[in-house]
Chain A
Amino acid sequence: MSRLQARDVVRSYGPTPALRGVSLDVADGEIVAVTGPSGCGKSTLLHCLAGILRPDEGAVRWNGERIDTWPEAARSRLRRTEFGVLFQFGQLVPELTAAENVALPLLLAGTGRREAGRAAGEWLDRFGVGHLADVRPGAMSGGQQQRCATARALVTGPRVIFADEPTGALDTLSGEEVLTQLVQLAREQGTTIVLVTHEPRIAAYADREVMLRDGVVDPTGLGLDETLVPLPAAGPGTDPR
Chain B
Amino acid sequence: MRPGVALRLALAGNRTDTVRVVLTALSAALASLAGLAALTVLAIPTPPGGRGSNNSEQYTNALLREPGLRGGTAVALLLLAVPVLALAGQCVRLGAPARDRRLAGFRLAGATPGQVTGLVAVEAGLASLLGTLAGLGTYLVGRVLLHRPDARGLLPLPTDVLPSPPVIAAVVLGLPVLAGLVGVVLLRRVTATPLGVVRRTRRERAPRPWAGLLILAGPTAFGLLAPINRWYADRAQDPPALLEPALMAGGALAALVGVVVGTGWLSYTAGRLLHRWGRGAAVLLAARRLTADPWAGSRTLAALLAAVIVGAGAAGLRASMIADMAANRATGQGLAGGEDFYLNTMDLVDRAAQLAVALAAGGLVVALVEGIVARRRTYAALVASGVPRSVIGRSVGWQALAPAVPAIVLALASGLLLIWGVAGRPRTYGAHSFQVCTGDAVRCADPSVLRTVWVPEVVVTPELPWAQLAWVGAGALVAVLVTVGVGLLFLRMSTAVEELRTG
Contacts and interface: CB of A to CB of B under 8 A. Distances in A.
Interface stretch (A99-107, A127-135, A177-185, A224-232): A99-107
A85 B386 contact: yes
B218 to A, nearest CB: 33
Contacts of A79: 384-386
Interface string A59-89: 0000000000000010011111101110100
Which of B377, B383, B384, B501 has the largest number of chain A CB atoms within 10 A?
B384
A80 B387 contact: yes
B289 interface: yes
Contact of A90 (B288, B293, B381, B391): B381
Nearest to B287: A95
| Interface size, A (range) | 35 or more
Nearest to B382: A93
A43 interface: yes
| Interface size, B (range) | 20 to 34
B497 A52 contact: yes
B378 A93 contact: yes
A165 B288 CA distance: 29
B497 A108 contact: no
Interface in B383-415: 383-388, 391
Contact of B381 (A80, A83, A87, A105): A87
A172 interface: no
Interface stretch (B147-155, B277-285, B310-318): B277-285
Contacts, number: 79
A222 B388 CA distance: 39
Given A90-B378, A93-B378, A108 B386 contact: yes
Contacts of B388: 73, 76, 108
B393 to A, nearest CB: 13
B387 to A, nearest CB: 6
Contacts of A164: 500
A79 B497 CA distance: 14
Contacts of A24: none
Contact of B385 (A96, A113, A153): A153
A79 B385 CA distance: 6
A50 interface: yes
B292 interface: yes
B386 A80 contact: yes
Contact of B386 (A94, A95, A96, A105): A105
Given A47-B497, A90-B377, A95-B289, A85 B385 contact: yes
A91 interface: yes
A53 interface: yes
Contacts of A84: 385
A78 B386 contact: yes
Which of B280, B281, B288 has the largest number of chain A CB atoms within 10 A?
B281
Contacts of A153: 385
A91 B387 CA distance: 12
A94 B378 CA distance: 8
Interface in A131-170: 136, 152-153, 164
A220 B284 CA distance: 50
A193 to B, nearest CB: 15
Contact of B279 (A85, A104, A113): A113
A47 B288 CA distance: 29
Interface string B479-500: 0000000000000000001101
A87 B378 CA distance: 11
B284 to A, nearest CB: 6
A53 B496 CA distance: 9
A44 to B, nearest CB: 9
B288 A91 contact: no
A76 B386 contact: yes
A43 B384 CA distance: 12
Contacts of B292: 94-95, 136
A30 B497 CA distance: 26
Which of B293, B377, B385, B387 has the largest number of chain A CB atoms within 10 A?
B385
B384 A85 contact: yes
Given A96-B285, A104-B281, A107-B280, A50 B378 contact: no
19 contacts: A43-B501, A53-B497, A76-B388, A79-B384, A79-B385, A80-B386, A81-B386, A85-B385, A85-B386, A90-B500, A93-B288, A95-B289, A95-B293, A97-B288, A100-B284, A105-B387, A107-B284, A113-B284, A152-B385
Q: Which 10 A-B pairs have the closest CB atoms?
A: A80-B386, A79-B386, A91-B381, A95-B288, A90-B377, A95-B292, A85-B385, A107-B281, A95-B289, A108-B281
